[in-house]
Amino acid sequence: MSKKYRVAIVGCGGISHAHGNAWRNVPEIEIVGACDEKFESLSRFATEYEVENTYNDLRQMLEKQNPDVLVVATWPSSHLKNVLEAVRCEVKGILVEKPIVVNTSQLEQMIQVTEGANILLMEAFMYRHHPLTLAVKEKVNEGAIGEVRYARSTFSTGLGRSSQAHIKKLDRTNWRLRGDLGGGAVMDLGCYCINIIRHLIGREPQSAWATGKYEPINNVWETLIGTMDFGDGITGQFDCSFGWTWRECYEVAGTEGTLCVQSAWGNREGESHFTVNGETISVTGVNPYAAEILNLCEAVENGTPLRLPIADALGNMRVIDALHESAHTGQRIRVPN
């Protein structure tokens, strides 16, 4: 890259520190501003990552700092508003934490305004930038397991498993357990499972159906189990839950073998591993948060392709909407193309 990139962030909660930790080791990135409505979160982020310019108002930060790239790490319910503000202030690229929005309609609006303003938009699925994921996809494309016929994935974290009272307590502070903020198991966890299944199968599902455990007080699915029909006998299945013990893995089966990843989403630097037909393959890792911001910056600078084009996010959100509808209605739901 030929220049430093001016990066600002809105939302200084937990996930912001994953970004900040990565950026401090990337010489191409200059953090020019941080914004959050909560003073304590903002102060903590600014102190930890030596950010001089802090704001409680996003428009003010964008107008005064004029960043090249805005990273949106607020609650999902605020993402569309944040992106519209960034478009107004003519940033060049926007990285939005997953889930990128709360429904397909919002994402279609987001795509329309960013494309109209010639602004690059990318969903922050950091694991897709990790060498392990790249190596897995390469093996599948090479035909190491033959023609793909089935993929499954799982992600559960144990959040809220202790008691109903604990869930109600977390409802006041944790977006994951608040439907009004864009929470729910499939929004926070299942989005990864859906994304990797679509990525490895290499096509969009035709229909989906789901069931799970719904929390009507908080308007969220605490647990969701889903099936996706990709046509031609190809199926994907996943489970995600805040109420089960920590689990993360995925597997893809083909006509000539299987590929398994036991540590699916949290790989960083150091060695990562997966197995193909019983053989263990090692991959040297990188910080995926650093890789994703550099991918967006390089695309802004010289037009290189985004690793996750916005069409990928649209496909994921369409499946999420279909799964939610199915879980509520008990019906198999067609996924629109």
- Average pLDDT along the chain, 337 residues, taken 10 residues at a time: 85 96 94 97 97 98 98 97 98 98 98 98 98 98 98 88 43 72 94 98 98 92 97 98 94 98 94 97 97 97 95 98 98 96
Domain that holds residue 318: 128-334
According to the model, what pLDDT value does residue 162 have?
43
Phi and psi at 249, nearest 5°, equal -170, 165
Q: Do 138 and 213 reside in the same domain of the chain? A: yes
Q: What's the total number of domains in the chain?
A: 2
Among 80, 108, 124, which residue terminates a domain?
124
Cα distances from 216 to residues 20, 100, 178, 184, 221, in angstroms, run: 35, 23, 10, 11, 8
Six-digit token pair at 32? Answer: 């020019």
Q: Do 274 and 176 reside in the same domain of the chain? A: yes
According to the model, what pLDDT value does residue 180 have?
86
Length of the chain: 337
Rg (CA), the chain: 20
With beta carbons less than 8 A apart as the criterion, state whether 150 and 229 touch: no
Predicted model pTM: 0.94
Q: Do 154 and 86 reside in the same domain of the chain? A: no
Among 79, 109, 124, which residue terminates a domain?
124
Among 109, 124, 139, which residue terminates a domain?
124
According to the model, what pLDDT value does residue 158 have?
82
